[in-house]
Structure 1
Amino acid sequence: MKTPEAFGGWNGVLNTGMVIVAALYTGIGFFGYLKYGERVQGSITLNLPNSLLAQSVRAVMAASIFLSYGLQFYVPMNIVWPYIKSKLTSEQSLKYGEAVTRFVLISITFLAAALIPNLSGIISLVGAFSSSALALIFPPLIEIMTFWPDQLGQSNWKLWKDILIMIFGFTGFVFGTFINVKNIFFAY
């Protein structure tokens, strides 16, 4: 945060972090498929044998999810809290309002996880629906709108690049959403 210019660029914090995360996910997926093939069930951790090492991996995964939930919940809370805060008037209600709001939102996510038997289908649907839009459709669209009409490079190469990325993202959005909706409604 002391040097915000280190965030961007080819070897900036964002690109370096995303490359490391993508490499880890790709490696886990590749080696998991290499080991279990078509027999893989949902998460790779579900396929691990019942050994002490495998149980410790599951325990560490559960602990990391538990401990990072507050960080992951930071953005939704920042979206919801200002609206609720504007409705609260007394000092007493403001004092307890944030804690009650967090409790209610966490309870909703807990109930959803407890009541939906195949949560992985819902997670995949949300990922296909929103991740492709957030990662592959909106950023090129914003770049086009930002540099329109005279800063798109020689022969409008940025425009064509962004159009290709958006077509790829829209294709993933349509097919991913279709497949996940089909799996949710017709899996049983």
Structure 2
Amino acid sequence: MDTYLTVTSSAEYQLTEKRSRFLGFAMHVESEDEAKSIIAAYKKKYYDARHVCYAYVIGDDGKTTRANDDGEPSGTAGRPILGQIVSHDLTYTLGIVVRYFGGVKLGTGPLGVAYKTCMGETLNLAECEEKIITSTLIVSIPYTDADTAMRFIREAGADITQRDYDLQGTILTVSVRQDDECALRDRLSKILSLKFVEQD
């Protein structure tokens, strides 16, 4: 699979359960640092709330995850939020639920359900989009064979994102679907004058 699903527009949802208010937020994030920065901003904005709980999933493969209960009983907030992001098959996604305590204790079971429901409904409101995972190839090719290389690249459905020139010929930067990279490499390798430029 060389695609992933992510939130493309932020969404908000509000749930009231036994006088406690749960404010759900879902948004796209590119990195853990960005997620942490947004979480810090929300904690500052909702400084008067009892809890600002969150979870996020990062990476093309969705392998980087984090969940935080922010003082709620262990496993009742962060994990249900994370579970909803995962069950929606999302990555590069941050979910935050702010809780204003209403004076009535919910108990761990209903509390977990409230966080799960709030995040689930928030994600249902969010716009999501399938993104294609791409790889970058850089090739150096003499002018005489450049047209052939560019034809191979076009036929593979890849894009030339940058074109540079040196004394030897043309340097092409190519963006190709990850699943198509090996086939394109093999085909380009048949042009004996072509060299792959190693990236830093």
* TM-score normalised over the length of structure 1: 0.24
Which has the larger Rg?
A: 2
Q: Which has the higher helix share?
A: 1
Q: Which has the higher contact order (CA 8 A, sep 6+)?
A: 2
* TM-score normalised over the length of structure 2: 0.23
